[in-house]
Structure 1
Amino acid sequence: MSECYRYLFLHNEKLKSTELFKDSYLQSGLSLYEVVRVVSGKAIFLTEHYSRLCNSAKKIETEIWYSFEQIKSAIQSLITKNDITEGNIKLIFNIKKESRNFYAYFVKHSYPTKSQYENGVRTFIHQAERPTPTAKIYNHKLRSKTNNIIKEANIFEVILLNSLGYVTEGSKSNLFFIKKNTIYTAPDNEVLHGIVRGKVIQIAQKLGIPIVKTSISYDDLPTYDACFLSGTSPMILPINRINSLSFSCNHPVLKQILLEYQQLVQANLNQ
């Protein structure tokens, strides 16, 4: 089943029926992508998503051929033509030797429930790492593997463990740990620079919460009090278990970060 969802998708500047979309479009060549969240009919933090697209392109010595305004217009067209005000839109710049193509479409989303925000979610460790962790490049093999683990183990997310024994990030999210009143996360060069991750770091700095970027050993996980995921779909989501290890979902630092992030989203919507 195709990941392209709803009624219409964009291929370059043309709207087409989702029945015509083929996942194989993305499985050859190289695909730079972003997933943006639509809330109340508006794509939130779009400026940051576009900036990351451009930075990802630079890392592989290419460039994005759509302007910010073109991306904004494409998203608004999808929202209007599909009559959708809440959901996730995937933006893809596919590069082959003989062609360049832009795709934009709604994808099925799985937002956490109220209970999951309150009580946390289960996660599982999987040994894997991205070849280019700081650039958002579509990796069909890793995505398929982690999606299968999530389904078979009935968990919310897979936590990636690199060859050196460090936990880095989730398969579709970034990862933070809390010990006492300090937040810990992987170094910038080991992970994707998530949009929500950046907001968490900004919030911590604003509130005067110490934040340490360091490699986090799997063996040291029991020493942390709490941990959480950040990402476009989960936003700020507590973790209650990593494998058999349990973590608090009521840590005051975690509660502060969640509240401040909600206020940032609302401020962005009001712009």
Structure 2
Amino acid sequence: MSECSEYKYLHNSDVKNSNEFKDDFFKKGLSLYEVMRVVESKPIFLEDHLMRLQKSAKKVEQFIWLDYSELVEKIKLVISTNCVVEGNIKIVFNIQENSRNFYCYFVQHKYPKKEEYAEGVHTIIYKAERSNPNAKVYDDKLRSYTNSLLENPDVYEVILMDGHDNIREGSRSNLFFIEGNTLVTAPDDEVLNGVVRKKIIEICKRIGIPVLKEEIAYNSLSKFDAAFITGTSPQVLPIKSIDMISFNVNHHLLKRLLESYRKELANYLTEF
């Protein structure tokens, strides 16, 4: 199945039929990308995503050849052409030795069910590291293997653990733990700094919740009261278990953060 969903995608400035799209477009060269959630036909936290894209390009000594207004115009074009109200939209800058190509298209998504937000999800550990965790660069090998693990219907996310047995992030999400009234997450330089992760940290600063950014050893997981992932599709999603370790999905701080994030999103949609 092609990664491209809906019936139209954008290649540079040309709108094309999705049956012309090939996942092999990104097998060659370097591909910088962002995936944004579309709600009410609006790309949410668009400015933050495009800022992170610029940072990713700088990390790998490349540049984004479209400016902010051009990117916004192209994203809105793909949304309106496909008449999408809700979904995930992806932008890719593919850089090869003799060519540079821009793609914008909708991708398949899997949003958590209502009961998963209420009951939490099961996750498993996989020992792997991103070669450049701060840059959102397409990694076909890592994505293919974690996708195979996610084919298990009982597993919602794969948690990545480094060579020193420290927990970093999910294969497509960021990870937070709660100990008492404190939030704990991996250091910024060890993870892909997701947009929802950024929003949660901003919310914590605003309402006075301490956030520790430190190494999280696998053998220390049982000391935490609660855990959750953040990301484009899950947004803020409680974890009920990592491997055989269970967490409290009804922790008061987790519920407060989930409610605060939903208010943040509602405010953004009103002002967009």
TM-score, normalised by the number of residues in structure 2: 0.98
Q: Which position in structure 1 is the counterpart of 2:40?
A: 40
Q: Which position in structure 1 is the counterpart of 2:26?
A: 26
Q: Which position in structure 1 is the counterpart of 2:156?
A: 156
Could you tell me how far apart the structure 2 residues matched to 1:67 and 1:270 are?
25
Which has the higher mean CA deviation after the structures are superposed, 111-120 or 148-157?
A: 148-157
What SS is found at the alignment partner of 2:54? helix
In the TM superposition, 1:44-193 aligns within 5 A as 44-152=44-152, 154-193=154-193
Q: Which position in structure 2 is the counterpart of 1:9?
A: 9
Tell me how many residue pairs correspond in the alignment: 271
How many percent of aligned residue pairs carry the same amino acid?
49
What SS is found at the alignment partner of 1:63? coil
Deviation at 1:62, TM superposition (A): 1.2
Query: What is the one-letter code of the residue matched to 2:217?
Result: S
Query: What is the one-letter code of the residue matched to 1:108?
Result: Q
* Alpha-carbon displacement from aligned partner over 1:17-64 (angstroms, at most 9, x marks no partner): 000001110011000000000000100000000000001001111110
Deviation at 1:154, TM superposition (A): 3.0
Q: Which position in structure 2 is the counterpart of 1:243?
A: 243
Query: What is the one-letter code of the residue matched to 2:223?
Result: T
Could you tell me how far apart the structure 2 residues matched to 1:154 and 1:183 are?
27
Deviation at 1:83, TM superposition (A): 1.0
What SS is found at the alignment partner of 1:151? coil
Could you tell me how far apart the structure 1 residues matched to 2:85 and 2:153 are?
32
In the TM superposition, 1:207-226 aligns within 5 A as 207-226=207-226
Q: Which position in structure 2 is the counterpart of 1:257?
A: 257
Could you tell me how far apart the structure 1 residues matched to 2:59 and 2:72 are?
23
Query: What is the one-letter code of the residue matched to 1:116?
Result: E
Could you tell me how far apart the structure 2 residues matched to 1:12 and 1:175 are?
34
Deviation at 1:153, TM superposition (A): 6.0
Could you tell me how far apart the structure 1 residues matched to 2:239 and 2:167 are?
14
Could you tell me how far apart the structure 2 residues matched to 1:37 and 1:234 are?
10
Could you tell me how far apart the structure 2 residues matched to 1:267 and 1:152 are?
36
Structure 1 stretches of 4+ with a deviation exceeding 2 A read none
Query: What is the one-letter code of the residue matched to 2:18?
Result: T
Deviation at 1:3, TM superposition (A): 0.3
What SS is found at the alignment partner of 2:150? helix
Query: What is the one-letter code of the residue matched to 1:182?
Result: T
Could you tell me how far apart the structure 2 residues matched to 1:119 and 1:152 are?
18
What SS is found at the alignment partner of 1:111? coil
Query: What is the one-letter code of the residue matched to 1:8?
Result: K
* Alpha-carbon displacement from aligned partner over 1:198-226 (angstroms, at most 9, x marks no partner): 00101111111111000100000000000
TM-score, normalised by the number of residues in structure 1: 0.99
Deviation at 1:79, TM superposition (A): 1.1
Q: Which position in structure 1 is the counterpart of 2:268?
A: 268
Deviation at 1:70, TM superposition (A): 1.2
Could you tell me how far apart the structure 2 residues matched to 1:31 and 1:154 are?
31
Could you tell me how far apart the structure 2 residues matched to 1:131 and 1:154 are?
28
Could you tell me how far apart the structure 1 residues matched to 2:143 and 2:131 are?
13
Q: Which position in structure 2 is the counterpart of 1:197?
A: 197
Which has the higher mean CA deviation after the structures are superposed, 99-108 or 147-156?
A: 147-156
Could you tell me how far apart the structure 2 residues matched to 1:200 and 1:13 are?
35
Deviation at 1:124, TM superposition (A): 0.4
Could you tell me how far apart the structure 2 residues matched to 1:153 and 1:44 are?
28
